[in-house]
A and B are shown apart, each in its own frame.
Chain A
Amino acid sequence: MRATDLPDTELLALARTQPDVLGVIYERHAPVVYRYLARRVGPAAAEDLLAEVFVAALGARLRVQPHDSGSALPWLYGIAGNVVRSYLRHSRGHSLVDDVPAVDWDAVDARLDAAALRGQLQAALAALTDGEREMLLLVAWEGLTPSAAAEALGLTPVNARSRLHRARSRAQSVLDQLTPAEL
């Protein structure tokens, strides 16, 4: 059987001993990982970071086990999140590890048509912890199921669901304060 026919779980197992298998994983997932990056840092920076995510995955391949979901994507998102944080920390000249949200809000605002909406999402998500924000965005932006997002973030599915619920209600309540609910 050719490597291109193998499911992700087997590719990840193979990749420990056969690094060239990462090429197959790249062909399969690079477009989706690119969109993840573009949503967080904008298309131009995403171009630069795309290869970085997979090179980091190459280095991390010995330490990962295939996920229950059968997809390499949660693992790749986890690595991509770290690559984004590292990039933003560097580009903003931050030295503090903890106060860097893994999103470039200028890139997000550029995608919202109405000027009135700009800043609103940032305000809503600023009320969340880093982990809650990641959870919410993995589900809302990347379309992950809560349990797949849990894998990306190293959480149990139960913890992930409660974190998602907390994130949604807190973010919505911030939005409600900004703009009274439309009738």
Chain B
Amino acid sequence: MNLDTLLRDSAAVPDAAPRVLISGRTTLDAAITAAAAQRVAAIRVIRQRRRRRLSVTALVAAAAAFAFVIAPTLSLGGKAPVSAASAAQVMRQAAAAAGAQPGGWPDAAYWHSVSTYHQGSGSAHQREAWIGHTAPGVLTDDGVDTGFIPLDEAVFPAGGRGLSWDELYALPTDSVALESNLRAGIGGVGNSDDAELFVIVGDLLRESPASPALRQALWEVAARIPGVTLVGAVTDSAGRAGVAVERGDQRYVLDPNDGRLLEESSGSSAPAPEAPGGTAWRATYLEQGPANSAPATTWVEPTKESMASAAKASN
């Protein structure tokens, strides 16, 4: 008997019935939903958080509005919220201080940042990113994977847009022009334009090579957003003194003396169907600055053994 004939004859199998494909997809979708709930601790923390705000949190929005509980390690320093005018003052002070810092990194190769974050009822994770100006970047995030995780080249979220490094540097640094530019790019993302603008300020300050002039303008824009209130003096989870301002469930802890964004938090500790541990999220920014190089990623070609263990780990 010829081997090829035997192989050919034994290769014929019926196609999957539509019912089989639909049933498999249903099972997969349930697993994807579960993975998405874990993914709140995944690579693009910021974007996921925003999507979650649009989708998951919308389901529990009413509950979240009343049930938002500050992360326990965030000490409030005993001050009650005061008027919105004082929040604006604090942010204007931060703006001036940020603008007085040295620097400007339009030509740097990478932007390096170190942070910790905490999601829902999970434990704290360490995150270190090298965001590439024109080259792919690298991430370590022990909430995602143990090794180096390759990233695409830099994209900084700003409402409905993603800005490249050079586009970030092309943003106006006059705060009025910047505000109209940012508002024009919101494109319906977020709960409201004011809420999204407040989020964008954080998006462009954290893990971002924004120049001192842009940081100044961003805090000036934030100081004009209606509805931002002063929480008061706080100590962040790294033990640093700062001042907290918030709008809705989005809170920033800043250092008015140098304009740094120290920490932020958002979400609710109330359990939701897709996030049993709640959607409360907190990130603490420990350091950031320019870098000439990033660690080489050593992606190992998947072998049968590695895929077997990966398949086993997912069972």
Contact = CB atoms under 8 A, between A and B. Distances in A.
A163 interface: no
Contacts of B306: 63, 154
B9 A112 contact: yes
A31 B21 contact: yes
B295 interface: no
B205 interface: no
Main secondary structure on chain B at its contact with chain A? Answer: helix
A30 B21 contact: yes
Contacts of B308: 82, 85
A58 B24 contact: no
Given A56-B315, A58-B35, A154-B304, A23 B25 contact: yes
A82 B307 contact: yes
Interface stretch (B11-19, B98-106, B191-199, B246-254): B11-19
Given A78-B302, A153-B304, A60 B24 contact: no
Contact of A111 (B4, B13, B48): B13
Contacts of B145: 62-63
B302 A75 contact: yes
A111 B13 CA distance: 8
Given A20-B32, A108-B10, A141-B11, A62 B23 contact: no
Contacts of B303: 154
A51 B23 contact: yes
Nearest to B308: A82
A43 B13 contact: yes
A51 B24 contact: yes
Contacts of A178: 1
A72 interface: no
A57 to B, nearest CB: 8
A30 to B, nearest CB: 6
A106 interface: no
A26 B304 contact: no
B36 A20 contact: yes
Contact of A23 (B6, B9, B16, B32): B32
Main secondary structure on chain A at its contact with chain B? Answer: helix
A22 B9 CA distance: 33
A141 B26 CA distance: 28
Contacts of A64: 302, 307
Residue among B16, B26, B303, B306 with most chain A CB within 10 A: B16
A161 interface: no
A179 B1 contact: yes
A144 interface: no
A13 to B, nearest CB: 8
B149 A16 contact: yes
Contacts of B144: 62
B31 interface: yes
A149 B268 CA distance: 48
Residue among B1, B3, B149 with most chain A CB within 10 A: B3
A17 B43 contact: yes
Nearest to A156: B301
Given A62-B149, A175-B2, A50 B16 contact: yes
Interface in A168-183: 168, 171-172, 175, 178-179, 182
Nearest to A172: B3
Contacts of A39: 10-11, 13
A14 to B, nearest CB: 10
Given A58-B35, A175-B1, A81 B27 contact: no
B60 interface: no
Contact of A60 (B15, B42, B299, B311): B311
B155 to A, nearest CB: 12
A50 B307 contact: no
A56 B314 contact: yes
B79 interface: no
13 contacts: A23-B28, A27-B25, A35-B13, A51-B25, A63-B307, A64-B302, A65-B299, A111-B13, A112-B6, A121-B10, A140-B4, A154-B302, A154-B303
Interface of A: 13, 16-17, 19-20, 22-23, 26-27, 30-31, 34-35, 38-39, 43, 46-47, 50-51, 54-56, 58-60, 62-65, 75, 78-79, 81-83, 85-86, 108, 111-113, 117, 120-121, 124, 136-137, 140-141, 153-154, 168, 171-172, 175, 178-179, 182
Give 5 nearest A-B pairs by CB, closest first. Answer: A59-B314, A51-B27, A60-B310, A154-B303, A34-B16
